[in-house]
Amino acid sequence: MEYNFRAIEKKWQDYWFNHKTFKTENDQLKPTYYVMNMFPYPSAHGLHVGHIESYTATDIMSRFKRMQGFNVLHPMGWDAFGLPAEQYALQTGNDPKDFTYKNIQNFKRQILEAGIGIDWDREFATADSDYYKWTQWIFIQLFKHGLAERRDVEVNWCEGLGTVLANDEIEIKDGVMVSERGHYPVTKKAMKQWVLKITKYADRLLEDLDLLDWPEHIKEMQRNWIGKSVGAKITFKVVQSDISFDVFTTRPDTLYGATYCVLAPENPLVLEIATQDELSTVKAYIEQTKQKTDLDRGDLNKDKTGVFTGAYAINPINNQKVPIWIADYVLASYGTGAVMAVPAHDERDYAFALKHGLDIVKVIESDEEGCFTGDGVHINSGIINGLNNESAKEAIIAYLESLGLGQKEVTYRLRDWVFSRQRYWGEPFPVLFDEEGNVIALDESELPLELPKMLNIKPSGTGESPLANLYEWIHIQKDGKLYKRETNTMPQLAGSSWYYIGYVLKTLVGFIPLNTEEAKKELDKWLPVDIYIGGAEHAVGHLLYSRFWHKFLFDLGLVSSKEPFMKLLNQGMILGSDNQKMSKSRGNVVNPDEVIESYGADTLRLYEMFMGPLEADKPWNTEAIDGSKRFLDRVWRMYYLPIEDSVSELDYIYHQTVKKVTEDYDKQAFNTAISQMMIFVNEVYKQKRLSKEQAIGFLKLLNPIAPHITEELFQTVFNKKDIITYQEWPSYDEAKLVLNEIEVVVQVNGKLRDRVMVSPDEDGEVVKKLALKAENVVRFTEGKQIVKVIYVPGKLVNVVIKE
């Protein structure tokens, strides 16, 4: 009777892989269901238990929907390009390609051993040349449509890594910027970079969030990142010069209260307007600012530093002279790189003014001391005195427009996507530069432009990628002319921005060309993805960029859905047993290989789904995993009980379980589905038997979570030659969900003494009489004075006696 999980799990994993059990069907009649995970970066460390949690969740949904009659696509691939492999190669002298593809084999082994049902015919890595051919093709279309261009951009430059870093690849250590990987110093530097004009899609990216079944906090993060602001652009002239600058403000109604202006330290006007007396202080502050990230500079709680330039501007509404400062909380990349400061009605301006002794002029009436940011009647405001905020805004904008000193404007916090990396291990740009520096896109027939093999991938030392060292690869002749290749490569996010499309188009012989009718037909069939499960940390990176690329492909007519991922679910983090994030330094990392070896894949899957809601962070508990193993052992032994044609005593709990598990799977409430199945197993052990319908039905319910044990029981106990995977999902009978009898507990003075079975709609007085006749109740009330009998319908009777 012992369940030999090692032998049985290996048997079924081999069967599924060799028979391509989870290969997506070419069935035009079935409804489609596309479920996918955020694919992993194949590092040397292998998968961790958090990966298994996410992959088990999608596997449950794919197995469940397949049995419900859907044509399911559940693929897996590898986010293979990127900085980690390049750094490992530099440190060890290994080839990043060899290293990455070796890791992929290990990751794939772990996924197979976890029993995850994948259509492996759809597998690819973003570093496969037949895949990145189409990454390059999409880039060319972006370029041809004016959405990709080279421009001078101030970037986060890391000399130690020899590359530009995104903001989320940087940390602050001891007050200075360092790379997240290796903790090398990072500085601001102007470089010519490829950028993608995601800002052209800002409104659509914002508006279409309302179409999505995503966690609200993720949508809110994207809204804030896009940062749409409606306000006015106002021109300030610098005193005793021909120089002027524009500020953007969402509160033009407070212009009368603007008592100083602040420019971003990197604003090119700063060094022009700074007086001789202040110039050295200004220059020192500019250098200081270069050591800070945009995130750090925008922190509302940080100390408000800044220096006076010595220059003044004219407030256009009242002709008052106002001092011009520079401060790191103003970013050159946001708005105009200059702000008007109204300390009486803006918290940050107020804190800055208090610290630096600047004027504070109240222009909105309120009883509050200090800074007031709400709506109110304007005072000390000339033409808008007596007006409230919205009316005052309209009046001020109209007035400024009539003078040519301002206009209504919409701005966004969203910046264009810096798309160049000074790395070797990435997609080469499919472009050439002629001798005049003009950019020429490669023809489709010239794709893919393959990444050349290099023995030495150390940074070039010139700010370019290691590819700059390949003179013969860079310099080519074409049509009798000399050209140079781009030496930068694309960022890791390029390949992941369309991989959900890659899965649909992947065949055993390559990819269906993206720009064909055949591809369009397949994409219309499968997109958008029905459910996408992954980490919340990708909210304003991968998820935003994928939406941008998808909308561009929609504009090209290559996809018909407005959005790539219809439903998004963020799995919570699995913490160490010490309730801390798992890390090698803490020694609290749990290796899934070790858990599977000791307990089996089904136990690991069941335990991770039973820990709590999928979205919640949960600590690992080895004692609890023992409980999951014991439950599966009970399930195994349950099938040694008599299996009869009918066991009516279990009808109610069985049909209740089918209903509950089906509903819970549909809403990814896997922990409560497991609880219900445990209740069913307990009831079976009370009856010491079950019917064939109940036995087979239960195996189907448990199969998505514990596929190995259920397949084995289905085959051996019922002598089945087919497998559960393509069986029909069990249905429940509403009529069986109506109880003929219910159990009512009977208490004496609040202590449980007995139970009685009654009809659900039995009269209360009848129930009380039955309770008083119960054997144990008689024993505890005999010879005692009964004060009262309380009946809680359908639940309990409490007999109150005088002791």
* Residues 447, 312 share a domain: no
User: Which pLDDT score, from 0 to 100, does residue 180 have?
Assistant: 85
Q: Is residue 49 pLDDT above 90, yes or no?
A: yes
Q: Is residue 70 pLDDT above 90, yes or no?
A: yes
User: Which pLDDT score, from 0 to 100, does residue 125 have?
Assistant: 97
* Residues 337, 470 share a domain: no
* Residues 422, 444 share a domain: yes
Is 73 part of a structural domain of the chain?
no
Q: Which two tokens stand for residue 529?
A: 């993805």
For residue 41, the 8-state DSSP code is P
pTM of the model: 0.86
Is 386 part of a structural domain of the chain?
yes
pLDDT tens, residue by residue, 316-333? 999 999 999 999 999 887
| Higher local confidence (pLDDT), 291 or 687 | 687
Q: Is residue 803 pLDDT above 90, yes or no?
A: no
* Residues 354, 426 share a domain: no
User: Which pLDDT score, from 0 to 100, does residue 461 have?
Assistant: 66
pLDDT tens, residue by residue, 13-38? 999 999 999 999 888 899 999 999 99
Q: Is residue 101 pLDDT above 70, yes or no?
A: yes
* Residues 326, 298 share a domain: yes
Q: Is residue 610 pLDDT above 90, yes or no?
A: yes
Give residue 462's pLDDT band: very low, low, confident or very high (50, 70, 90).
confident
Range of the domain at 370: 229-411
- Among the residue ranges 86-95, 251-260, 343-352, the one predicted with the least confidence is 86-95
Give residue 291's pLDDT band: very low, low, confident or very high (50, 70, 90).
confident
pLDDT tens, residue by residue, 207-223? 999 999 999 999 999 99
**Does the annotation place 189 within a ligand binding site?**
no
Q: Is residue 456 pLDDT above 90, yes or no?
A: no
Give residue 83's pLDDT band: very low, low, confident or very high (50, 70, 90).
confident
User: Which pLDDT score, from 0 to 100, does residue 577 have?
Assistant: 87
| CA–CA distance, 371 with 386 (Å, rounded to integer) | 19
**Mean pLDDT, residues 435-456:** 95
User: Which pLDDT score, from 0 to 100, does residue 379 have?
Assistant: 97
Q: Is residue 510 pLDDT above 90, yes or no?
A: yes
Kindly give, in sequence order, each residue whose CB lies less than 8 Å from that of residue 478, ignoring residues fewer than 6 positions away: 432
User: Which pLDDT score, from 0 to 100, does residue 162 have?
Assistant: 80
Give residue 300's pLDDT band: very low, low, confident or very high (50, 70, 90).
low
Contact 468, 399 (CB under 8 A): no
CATH for 298:
3.90.740.10
* Residues 197, 342 share a domain: no
Residue 396 vs residues 266, 335, 341, 342, 371: alpha-carbon distances, Å: 30, 20, 17, 15, 22
pLDDT tens, residue by residue, 750-779? 999 999 988 888 889 999 999 999 999 999
Q: Is residue 742 pLDDT above 80, yes or no?
A: yes
- Among the residue ranges 145-159, 239-253, 658-672, the one predicted with the least confidence is 145-159
**Mean pLDDT, residues 33-46:** 92
| CA–CA distance, 318 with 256 (Å, rounded to integer) | 7
Is 704 part of a structural domain of the chain?
no
User: Which pLDDT score, from 0 to 100, does residue 301 have?
Assistant: 67
- Residue finishing a domain among 428, 456, 485: 485
DSSP 549-586: HHHHHHHTTS---S-SBSBEEEPPPEEPTTSS---TTT
Mean pLDDT computed over every residue of the chain: 93
- Residue finishing a domain among 411, 436, 460: 411
pLDDT tens, residue by residue, 336-380? 899 999 999 999 999 999 999 999 999 999 988 889 999 999 999
Q: Is residue 295 pLDDT above 80, yes or no?
A: no
Among 568, 566, 565, 562, residue whose Cα is nearest residue 207: 562
- Residue finishing a domain among 362, 392, 411: 411
User: Which pLDDT score, from 0 to 100, does residue 82 have?
Assistant: 83
* Residues 777, 756 share a domain: yes
* Residues 235, 171 share a domain: no
* Residues 301, 391 share a domain: yes
* Residues 324, 466 share a domain: no
* Residues 372, 279 share a domain: yes
Is 606 part of a structural domain of the chain?
no
Q: What percent of the chain has pLDDT over 70?
A: 99
Give residue 432's pLDDT band: very low, low, confident or very high (50, 70, 90).
very high
Query: What is the SS3 assignment for 753-803?
Result: EEEEEECCCCCHHHHHHHHHHCHHHHHHHCCCEEEEEEEECCCEEEEEEEC
